[in-house]
Amino acid sequence: MTTKKADYIWFNGEMVRWEEAKVHVMSHALHYGTSVFEGIRCYDSHKGPVVFRHREHMQRLRDSAKIYRFPVSQSVDELMEACRAVLA
């Protein structure tokens, strides 16, 4: 199975070209698989993409990061805006 390559990806708080999104070889996530994630549903509507329970998902994502003591500089609103930017 191949992954469809996007032109841009949200990486470290900003949209960057796919080729510029790089993870350091000493990254804890690379060596130990540490991560947090949310499975989020998005639906197409006549007004454009709609994310189901968007705020709740972003809050849970921040809460999970806090448990792992991952620094997250983005607020819930900023994470929601980033998600909308990726969908645009």
Amino acid at 39: G
Whole-number pLDDT of residue 1: 62
Which phi and psi (to 5°) does residue 16 adopt?
-130, 160
E runs forming strands in 1-88: 8-11, 14-17, 42-45, 48-51
Domain locations in the chain as residue ranges: 8-20+37-87
Structure tokens at 35: 């991560």
**How do residues 9-42 score in pLDDT, each as one tens digit?**
889 889 999 999 999 999 988 999 999 999 999 9
Q: Which CATH class is domain 8-20+37-87?
A: alpha beta
**How do residues 53-88 score in pLDDT, each as one tens digit?**
999 999 999 999 999 999 999 999 999 999 998 888
